[in-house]
Amino acid sequence: MQIAFQYAFERPAGSGRQLFRILPATIPGRQSVLDAAIRIDPDPVETREFVDFFGTRVIELVMPPGITELELILEADVRRVAHEIGLDISTPLARLAAEIAGHRGLDAASPHHFLVPTPRIPRIPAIAGFARKATAGAETAREALEKLGLALHAHMRFDAKATDVNTPPAEAFELRRGVCQDFAQIMLAGLRSLNIPAAYVGGYLRTLPPPGQPRLVGADASHAWVRAWCGADAGWIDYDPTNACFALGDHIDIGFGRDYDDVAPVTGMMRLDGAQTGTHSVDIEEAPVQTQSGPLSWTPLALAFAPKSRAAQTDDPLHEPG
């Protein structure tokens, strides 16, 4: 896979510090990173890699003053294990609150982090009412998750021009249009109104061409979906409301959090005197399965600083196009 970010500044920029959450995650039994490298042009003054509270790998860059362009390209080999959704062993909705109360941990995967409102996803009565109606008759947490996802998919229309990265979920819900970020945050508001813990997941989606058509380079996308805690036995289950499906083999995880802000692909500050433009592209190509000798483990990236030829581009690197 290759992920490319390009920025152009109308006038030479001042120094800046940027955080990139773009690295595929390592998830035991589901996803592993076999190899990864970053290319940055121009060379940063400082680089650092760390892991945030929710386990997402973060690249921190300090850029020098005077630059007019910035390009960052990630190339990685990722093994993603496709799996079936299996039987529904999730907790009955009537018992879910008791199981949440009985969960004593407060680590990153604790359901307690994912029930309360956040600045981006407050309590929204209209979405809560929609969720109650959509999940009427659901007996288990997973059944409610799927029912809400299907209802939201039918209610909303994918429209990349209707919203931007800061559009509130209530507004996108009223418009009935948006991108994967909007679908995911609306669904989070609905699940939490039902007292189902739900996290925002950022990642990538491998797209498949229509039958008989060639695969287009750069046609894949940054993506977002939801992860719901469905009880002690079932644990966390991923669902993609944009595509009305459980997130299985074609979804590549970067990380998760309480809302978009916890896994935004690019955050930080840069001193500017003028306008800027930004583009990004995602290209994911399936490769033959290779045998891996020894256990897969997390290792820091080998950072290589060199110019790179530009890839196919899409607008607005901050808005999850999904």
Report, in this order, helix, strand and coil percent for the chain, each rounded to 5. Answer: 20, 35, 50
What integer is the mean pLDDT of 167-196?
A: 97
The backbone torsions φ and ψ at residue 127, rounded to the nearest 5 degrees and listed phi first, read: -70, -35
Backbone phi and psi for residue 56, each to the nearest 5 degrees, phi listed first? -80, 135
Residues in contact with 201: Cβ distance below 8 Å, sequence separation at least 6, in sequence order: 184, 224, 225, 226, 227, 238, 247, 253, 255, 256, 263
3-state secondary structure of 175: helix
In this structure, how many other beta carbons lie within 10 angstroms of the beta carbon of residue 305?
Answer: 12
pLDDT in tens, 222-241: 899 999 999 999 999 999 99
Say what the pLDDT of residue 125 is.
98
Which token pair is 214? 């060639």
pLDDT in tens, 270-282: 888 888 898 889 9
Q: Which two tokens stand for residue 201?
A: 């997941």
Q: Which tops the pLDDT comparison, 94 or 285? A: 94
- 207: pLDDT confidence band, cut at 50, 70 and 90? confident
Least confident piece of the model among 11-15, 175-179, 201-205, 243-247: 11-15
Partners of 201 in the β-ladder: 225, 256
Q: Contact, 257 vs 54, CB < 8 A?
A: yes
pLDDT band at 260 (very low <50, low <70, confident <90, very high): very high
Reply yes or no on whether the pLDDT at 300 is more than 70. no
The radius of gyration of the chain's CA atoms, rounded to the nearest angstrom, is 20
**Contact indicator for 100, 112 with CB cutoff of 8 Å:** yes
Question: Do β-strands 46-51 and 245-246 pair in parallel, antiparallel, or remain unpaired?
Answer: unpaired
pLDDT at 264: 96
Average pLDDT across the chain, whole number: 88
Percent above pLDDT 70 for the chain? 86
**Helix runs in the chain, H state only:** 93-101, 125-134, 141-155, 169-175, 180-193, 260-263
Strand partners, 251: 205
DSSP annotation of 322 reads: -
Comparing 135 with 249, which gets the higher pLDDT? 135
* Contact between 34 and 299 (Cβ < 8 Å): no
User: Does 156 have pLDDT greater than 90?
Assistant: yes
Residue 220 CA neighbour count, 13 Å, CB half: 22
The pLDDT of residue 322 is 67
> For residue 315, what pLDDT is reported?
43
Q: How far apart are CA 231 and CA 98, in angstroms?
A: 10
Q: What is the structure's pLDDT at 215?
A: 58
Q: How far does the chain reach from its first CA to its final CA, in angstroms?
A: 16
Nearest residue to 205 (alpha-carbon basis) of 218, 217, 223: 223
User: Do 148 and 131 meet the contact criterion of CB atoms below 8 Å apart?
Assistant: yes
Q: Is 153 helix (H, G, I), strand (E, B) or coil?
A: helix
pLDDT for residue 145 is more than 70? yes
Average pLDDT over every residue of 153-176? 96
Domain extent listing, the chain: 2-81+264-315, 93-263
Question: What are the residues whose beta carbons fall under 8 Å from the beta carbon of 265, sequence distance 6 or more?
Answer: 20, 21, 22, 202, 222, 254, 280, 317, 318, 320
Domain 93-263 has CATH 3.30.300.20: no
